[in-house]
Amino acid sequence: MTAVGLRVIAGGRAGIAPGPPGLLAELYEKYAPGVYARCRYLLTDEADAKDALQDVFVKALRALPEFREDASPSTWILRIATHHCLNLLRARRAAWREQLQALQKDRRHETEPPDRRELVRVLLATAPEEAQEVAVLYFVDELTQAEIGQATGRSLPTVRKRLREFLSCAREALREAMPGVLLPEGEDL
């Protein structure tokens, strides 16, 4: 047999064999770095991120044909990762107020801008579910609004509406914690 990494599958449990890698290794090389980074970014905990990384790949393997045939597998699997982490954060009722205060304390003076990506991460929890995902696709993955519409199956006006919702919630949250920081209007994006 040429290059099959199988050793034993017994009693309903799958075993990984040493040797040539196969599909999972290919997926690991191509997509796991981004998925792990996304999980670390959103969950901020290494152990949680490792666990989430495995969960995301379990989901991807269960939907393998859909994943492989997607026009953009990278976008597909990062959306799965984002969804998974946002769900975990919702379940834990992430304390965004405390995190926002911590970001404010990290600034040495009022003119120093807070870390942009950290601020986006903390502010996600202030917004409704759909707006959270659109915000990650726009501010983190840097997809255009048209690309977001394509990836999520939503219309362009809906994508714009979700971005405006996110910015509105974020602005409200910042008003108290960082009164000097102003966010762009939805129309400016």
Partner 1 sequence: MNLDLGGPGPGCSAMRVRRLLAGELLGAEKERTEAHVASCARCAAVQRELAEEREALRREVPFDAFAAGVAEKLARQPRRSFTQRWAPLAAAAGLVLVAGTALVLRPTDDPGVRSKGGVSAQLFVQDARGVHALGNGPVAAGARLMIKLHPGAHKRARAVLVEPGEESVIYDGPAVNGTLPQAFEWTGSGPATLRIALDEEMVEIKLHR
Is residue 14 at the binding interface for partner 1, with CB under 8 A as the rule?
yes
Is residue 143 at the binding interface for partner 1, with CB under 8 A as the rule?
yes
Closer residue to partner 1 in complex, CB, 40/161:
40
Sign, CA torsion 107/110/113/117: positive
Closest CA to 40 of 73, 84, 74: 84
- Candidate list 48, 118, 130, 147; residue touching partner 1; CB under 8 A: 147
Is residue 186 at the binding interface for partner 1, with CB under 8 A as the rule?
no
Which amino acid is present at 25? A
Q: Rg for the chain (alpha carbons), in Å?
A: 19
Contacts of 161 (CB under 8 A, 6+ apart): none
Q: At its nearest, how many Å lie between partner 1 and the CB of residue 94?
A: 19
Residues 52-71 that bind partner 1 (CB under 8 A): 53-55, 57-58, 61-62, 64
- Candidate list 46, 98, 172, 176; residue touching partner 1; CB under 8 A: 46
Residues 75-104 that bind partner 1 (CB under 8 A): 75, 78
Is residue 156 at the binding interface for partner 1, with CB under 8 A as the rule?
no
Q: At its nearest, how many Å lie between partner 1 and the CB of residue 179?
A: 10
Question: What b/e readout covers 5-29, taking b as 16+ CB neighbours within 10 angstroms?
Answer: eeeeeeeeeeeeeeeeeeeeeebee
